[in-house]
Amino acid sequence: EAGGPNGQQQIVTIIDDDTPPSVTLLVGSLVIGEDVAPTSTPVTVLLNAMAGQEVRVFLLKTGSAKETLDFTLPGTITIPSEVLSATVTLAAVGESVAENDATVTISITGVINAEYASTPKTVTITDDDDPPLVTLSVGSSNIIETSGTTTVTVTLSAPSSFQVTVSLAKSGNAVDTVD
């Protein structure tokens, strides 16, 4: 309110015609490891100009990596007013299952109090687990020729996300279908 002629009060409206700031998505490293450094990378949202109010940035996480099983990353980043950026951490989740490397693509899906036109970023999470060892055990090595059987058990030293195929070979002088 302001004083007008003859001391009358007047209402003045100020229109904010400033262009809202624009948000850019930045990722520190595009490759992280499960258990081999670096196991995490910073994910930063950066404004091209300060905002007079809090800016919220919403993230979408897609790709072959599974959230909580392969990585952790918050879905929202908040930039306080009068601050140019905020950073969170994308962290790999280590486990002992041999599997393929996985990817997570981070995209901005929405922003409050700013604009965005940022390119998605893809981070590869490298698997560092050795494939499991295969162990064979035979129930009995002495079998009656005319009616005997035995069981061969295959055991893995650790879980695997891959199909495991074991090829068996025989040796000695026994003849198939005869002995």
Q: Over the stretch 104-161, which tens digit does the pLDDT of each residue have? A: 999 999 999 999 988 999 999 998 877 888 888 888 777 777 677 778 888 888 887 7
Which position has the higher pLDDT, 141 or 99? 99
CA 35 distance to own-chain centroid: 14
Cβ-contact 90, 43 below 8 angstroms: yes
What is the model's pTM? 0.73
User: What confidence score (pLDDT) does residue 102 get?
Assistant: 95
Instruction: Give mean pLDDT, residues 70-89.
Output: 97
